[in-house]
Amino acid sequence: MARNVVIVGAQWGDEGKGKIVDILMESADIVVRFQGGNNAGHTVIVGEEKFVFHLIPSGILHAGKKCIIGDGVVVDPEVLIKEIDVLKARGIFRPEDLLISNNAHLIMPYHKRLDAARERLRGENKIGTTGRGIGPAYEDKVGRCGIKCGDLLNEETFRFKLKNNLVEKNHYIQTILHEEGFAVHELYHTYTSYAEVISRHIMDTSKFLSDAIAAKKKILFEGAQGTLLDVDHGTYPFVTSSNTVAGQAATGSGVGPSRIDKVIGITKAYCTRVGEGPFPTELSGAEADWLREHGGEYGATTGRPRRCGWFDAVALRYAARINGLDGLVVTKLDVLDKLDKIKVCTKYKYNGKTIEDFPTDGGTLARCEPVYEELPGWNSQTQGITSFEKLPKKAQAYLKRLEELSGVKVEIVSVGAKRNDVIILKDPFK
């Protein structure tokens, strides 16, 4: 039996991880977010209510389940507090269920200003960041001048680090970017007011998780974004600023890798991408518009329309290898219900040759042409179906073909946006 399960996006993000985390929390005791920041958006629909999470794991909807913001996350306290307030107003938030790692780094206002100004300077060469300061916050972490959540617990330490940082940040912001700088006292008072709200949640979450593992608790490790946006293994430079792959679950939560029992990859039944960068199976015109509208493909965090395309099995095979996937979750199968024909990319053509491995070099990938296999559509509704055997035969065949192409078994299928629109072939925890 698997006790510690990692969930990762197997595409470019937006695969529906929030809903799957919400479902699996029925079996788990603890959920840990292990990377990224509020550039993530996880949407869960329960009954007629819609919840959008950016920092707090969606497991917070389950009373008594501990929700941890891990070491590898960068935290914007303003966003976090707003998220808490929304949950409080809806009668959901329980303070004892939220824990924040003292080692998680803070996003500061100067990070956001740097992020937005740099994107403007890049012009046509922009990366397509969300402008939320994620990248600059990780830069400071690696540059050893970041400020941690734990620093909020000591006002003297916080003020010292803030003052030192602003000497350099203000010089760069004002001299190079020609933007307005920041006053130490203003940021100090703002962030100490945030500390009054969130300090009760800040602790050594690595130790908490170690004790939970010893007590044989079931832990779900929740990733944000997707494999192909990983800063080391994605389509660099059009990636996020953190490691999104399964290996980060250990690093970003302070749990030894030998404690991970199972890795599950989440993929849509087609492909989407937000922001800039190569996307071999991208569609344009009426086909792209149809998928976008029927799939509701607009960012939960930014509202940006997502780029849409056919399923890319080359990319999924790569994600399976990089993450060591033990199982697959296929979401949004129902979006394809009305199509007569469905295409799946099985390989690429590059410089006149056929290749079956995914090139992470952006220039190479941009010149790859998809080689498609055409499968028949099922032209009937899948939403509301709760067992694999009751799916249309052609929908079953489509899922089996994805298994064959990826080498990974499908364990869960999502056939709608709501919590109960799901087919569970195998619970990863059982």
Q: Known catalytic residues?
A: 14, 42
Checking phi first, is residue 390 left (phi over 0); if not, alpha (psi -120 to 50) or beta? Answer: alpha
Residues near 45 by Cβ (< 8 Å), separated by ≥ 6?
19, 51, 417, 418, 419
